[in-house]
Amino acid sequence: MRAFGEPTPDRVMQYIAGGWATAVLGSAARHGVFNALEGGGDRAEGVVNKTGISLRGAQAVLDGLTGLGLILHSHDGRYQNSPEASAFLVKGKPAYLGGMAEVMMDALSEWTKLPGAVKTGAPAASNTTDKPDNESWHVLVPAIAALSIPVAKLAAAWLGVAKSRSISWLDVGGGSGVWSAVWLDANKQAQGFQLDWPVVNHIARGYVGSFGVADRFHTIDGDFHYVDFGSSKYDFAICGHIAHQETPADNVAIFRKLRRAIKRGGTLVVNDFILSDDRTGHPFAMLFASQMLLATAGGFTWRQSDYGKWLCEAGFRTVDIVPTPTASTLVFAN
């Protein structure tokens, strides 16, 4: 018998089996299990009929998802999506994160290389972030887009994008184009420009097109480390989830180019996983440091004071750090 107040192994065991949870969630997303349960739920046999998976496989996944609290099991043998699963794991909904679950599942083997990266401090993953023709972009870029939608909306509200008439912005390393999609939808007179690798921009044009605003979305192909951003061309600039993969020196250089690219009185918006100065913060942001260790040569999860220092060095006079309800933090620099 364990004495009252004595530690239990429950949380340790939960983390030890974390890879199992990722694989169960990713498998369910890939086979459409959450879509099969949406709108009233079903029994395991019904999931089999709707998805084409085996009964044994369906039961195993349903058991696992029930244990994780992502689906609910009633006494009559029916399963139903939890509110979280309905909101974030039903394919076709705007906030769908099932694609990200699949990406994480497929990358599980890469994480076995983390001990080596921890020992050497050098990246060990085969899919690093510096490959412009990386096939993983086709999966990763659209999969993570939903993470940025609420943050892009918050930034638009902060800046008054909807009321700013014929504005323009440069989104450096914009990926899916989700920021431009959200902002162009909010402001029917605006023009959005994205600088990224050709394969990523191709993906972005399709994604932004799904919002019906493709006619005002423009892409610039190239590596943002080397492309000239221009001078006093844009009302705003966006640097979303880029700084975490860069070294401090590279971040100063990129911010300096962005400072030059925006008009007088314009604002740079930085969005990233940012920690407090004592290196605490959202659990996802804190775990993300290991992802950067594994996949980049000099990236990391940087602190608020790091961003403040870099932006001041780049010529910005004011820096506002704004938390969000997500794992991301917004930084506004003028």
Type and span of the H or E element at 60 = helix 55-68
* CATH 1.10.10.10 location in the chain: 10-91
pTM higher than the cut 0.75: yes
Confidence check: pLDDT of 327 > 90: yes
CB-based burial label for 147 (10 Å; 0-12, 13-18, 19+): buried
- The CA–CA distances, whole Å, from 63 to 2, 10, 56, 70 equal 28, 18, 11, 10
- Say which CATH topology domain 118-333 has: Rossmann fold (3.40.50)
Third-level CATH fold of 10-91: Arc Repressor Mutant, subunit A (1.10.10)
**What residues contact 67, with CB distance under 8 A and at least 6 apart?**
none
Q: What does the pLDDT read at residue 302?
A: 98
SS3 237: strand
pLDDT at 2 over 90: no
Every domain of the chain with CATH number 3.40.50.150 lies at 118-333
pLDDT digits over 171-198, tens only? 999 999 999 999 999 999 999 999 999 9
Taking only the tens place, the pLDDT of each residue in 242-253 is 999 999 999 999
C-beta atoms surrounding 195 within 10 Å: 21
Query: Which two three-digit tokens encode residue 241?
Result: 């989830």
